[in-house]
Chain A
Amino acid sequence: MLQEPESGALAIPQAEREMDGSHDGETQALTASPEPAPGPLLQESPQEDLGAVREEGAAEPSLTPKGARALAAKTLARRRACRRLDRTVAELVQFLLLKDRKKSPITRSEMVKYVIGDLKDLFPEIIARAAEHLRYVFGFELKQLDRKHHTYILINKLKPIEDEEEVLRGDGPRLGLLMMILGLIYMKGNSAREAQVWAMLRRLGVRPSKYHFLFGYPKRLIMEDFVQLRYLNYRRVPHTNPPECEFSWGPRSNLETSKMKVLGFVAKLHKKEPQHWPVQYREALADEANRARAGASVRARASTHPW
């Protein structure tokens, strides 16, 4: 039962949570309106149950029938409390991992509000156990950023690997394919119809949905991966019937390469000079000039705001 405060979609008002002692997440439906959670309510307060767990050395009740029933009830309650504590620790781990993905520090009050609830007196134990899981299982260290305001962050203990993303995607061939597409788009005037892209690829022996030993399924690579990574934009062309779609450069392509570089790539393919295409060459020159100007102004700004 993970709630994300910013979206508000899964938040259960604190009052509701306090009423419901069992904190049972099993049928947490995706509704914004609070639902009474099913499942047995703990008879005793959670603290007492957990206190019972710690009383390992306490005197045993006598084993009369009444005593046996009391013992059974107490064991059951104890188990439930333990289970509940374990679940809360697990949910806190997941909560911290999710929050960390957004790179925002997590406050203690958020943790109490959305995960810990009425077990908040056990916060030190819960967070200690969560920290240990994060360290051992995921390689993250939970660090308290601010003692006064109780904010925490996760620090990755694993050493960073340069260009890990690229390494993992086995990128050589895939980026080569991307360059071919960027080149086609550029030479066609900064947008290319989907049909044109597939026609070019077919000439290379690449078919959209036929598994390729270098690219996997090309259609997925291009339509999903490249688009998701913002290397390509993909949009419907208005007023076309049957509806057609076109590709253009995505923002990441503009960051990681340039018109001049792509023109150079295309020129090499054709064993010609970039100037062989005067329109594209002029456009690439203008693009280079823009980049130089933008770079200069960024540097100028940076020099007036030293961090």
Chain B
Amino acid sequence: MGGPHPRSPRLEGGAEPSFLPPSSSVRTALGRCVPPSMQGNTKKMGVMTDVHRRFLQLLMTHGVLEECDIKRLQKHCYKVHDCNATIEKLEDFINNINSVLESLYIEIKKGVTEDDGRPIYALVNLATTSISKMASDFAENELDLFRKALELIIDSDTGFASSTNILNLVDQLKGKKMRKKEAEHVLQKFVQNKWLIEKEGEFTLHGRAILEMDQYIRETYPDAVKVCNICRGLLIQGQSCETCGIRMHLPCVAKYFQASSEPHCPHCNDYWPHEVPEVFNPEKERETGLSRSNKRSSRSRQH
């Protein structure tokens, strides 16, 4: 009889508590039901230990972490629970955890900051597309302010929305009435919680928001949304070709034009008019803390 494979969301062969139901269907993380015959035993489920659990708890607490911090986090978790074990390579470690998280429709997603290509990691919902994670930290009118800012950011050409333009929309917010002064404070809260980035009075999306709300943004603003010509990922900040209008992330530009002395648009072949940034390399940019070099002191560029 072709019933669904009995398969609990844990390692096969492990002891099952008696209160678990005997069967559950097999499905992919995106909620599409895959016929059991196609699943079978090809997918190996990872094993969770206290190392992984502590790692997950701490990642949840931080919301988003940079690669150097997440590596330190991993090391810390090993030290606490399994100090003699060899530390698994981060990518495999995370894939292992993700295979267990699949049945919960969440995953540890890796992204890259839009301005300088630093790798970041966040725990992301797969099945939901709302900004539910923010909902537990903010009031209704604050969430609506975020929505307004998000819309301005997506509609803008630069990926930035000015503080003034956002604040001018406070009268349109749902929920309790908010004054502009209060709204300024709320915007700073968004920055502190890593949902928005502020640069010189203008706001754009933090890498965390892009990771977590990717699906939501694509579905809610299908016409306004911009996409990178190279990686096809959601694009908020980037460079664009002045002739044909295609856009690319700054780190994608850096990688694509890395080896070429005269960059040309990949789409229309016209000369690429923008400065090509450097590819992010944490090793390369290391400086010793307190020493000065002649090279540094001659650079007067302020930031």
- A interface with B by C-beta (< 8 Å): 1-4, 6-10, 25-30, 32, 53, 56, 60, 75, 78-80, 82-83, 85-87, 90-91, 93-94, 97-99, 101-102, 125, 128-129, 132-133, 136-139, 156, 158-159, 161, 164, 167-170, 173, 204-214, 216, 219, 224, 227-228, 243
- B104: A residues at CB distance < 8 A: 90, 93-94, 133, 137
The answer to whether B131 and A25 touch across the interface, beta carbons within 8 angstroms, is no
Q: Which of A8, A75, A87 contacts B31 (CB 8 A)?
A: A87
Count of A-B residue pairs with CB < 8 Å = 192
A10-B130, A28-B129, A28-B130 given; A86·B25 CB < 8 A: yes
- A7: B residues at CB distance < 8 A: 135-136, 138-140, 143
Binds A, one of B154-162, B186-194, B242-250: B186-194
- Leading 6 A-B pairs by shortest Cβ distance: A139-B53, A2-B132, A82-B25, A228-B192, A4-B135, A211-B285
B291: Cβ under 8 A from any A Cβ: yes
Q: Which residue of A lies closest to B136 (CB)?
A: A98
The answer to whether B53 and A168 touch across the interface, beta carbons within 8 angstroms, is no
The answer to whether B103 and A28 touch across the interface, beta carbons within 8 angstroms, is no
A10-B135, A29-B130, A137-B100 given; A161·B303 CB < 8 A: no
A56-B1, A136-B48 given; A212·B191 CB < 8 A: no
The answer to whether B282 and A211 touch across the interface, beta carbons within 8 angstroms, is yes
The answer to whether B290 and A204 touch across the interface, beta carbons within 8 angstroms, is yes
- B33: A residues at CB distance < 8 A: 79-80, 82-83
The answer to whether A30 and B296 touch across the interface, beta carbons within 8 angstroms, is no
B3: Cβ under 8 A from any A Cβ: yes
Binds A, one of B69-77, B227-235, B260-268: B69-77
Q: Which residue of A lies closest to B75 (CB)?
A: A168
The answer to whether B10 and A129 touch across the interface, beta carbons within 8 angstroms, is no
For the A-B complex with A26-B127, A137-B104 known, give 4 more contacts whose Cβ atoms are closer than 8 Å: A99-B136, A132-B17, A137-B100, A210-B287
Q: Which residue of B lies closest to A203 (CB)?
A: B292
The answer to whether B23 and A53 touch across the interface, beta carbons within 8 angstroms, is yes
Cα–Cα, bound, A87→B31 (Å): 8
The answer to whether B132 and A219 touch across the interface, beta carbons within 8 angstroms, is no
The answer to whether A86 and B103 touch across the interface, beta carbons within 8 angstroms, is yes
A28-B129, A30-B130, A60-B1 given; A158·B54 CB < 8 A: yes
Q: Which of A94, A205, A219 contacts B106 (CB 8 A)?
A: A94
- B139: A residues at CB distance < 8 A: 6-7
CB distance from B26 to the nearest CB of A (A): 9
- B interface with A by C-beta (< 8 Å): 1-4, 9-10, 17, 19-21, 23-25, 27, 31, 33, 48, 50, 53-54, 56-58, 60, 66, 68-69, 72-73, 76, 80, 100-101, 103-106, 125, 127-133, 135-136, 138-140, 143-144, 147, 174-175, 191-194, 201, 216, 219-220, 282, 285-292, 296, 303
Cα–Cα, bound, A263→B79 (Å): 36
- A83: B residues at CB distance < 8 A: 25, 27, 31, 33
- B292: A residues at CB distance < 8 A: 205
The answer to whether B220 and A1 touch across the interface, beta carbons within 8 angstroms, is no
Q: Can you offer 18 A-B residue contacts whose CB atoms are under 8 A?
A: A1-B132, A4-B132, A6-B139, A10-B135, A26-B129, A27-B129, A28-B128, A30-B130, A53-B4, A56-B23, A78-B4, A80-B33, A170-B72, A205-B292, A211-B286, A213-B288, A224-B191, A224-B194
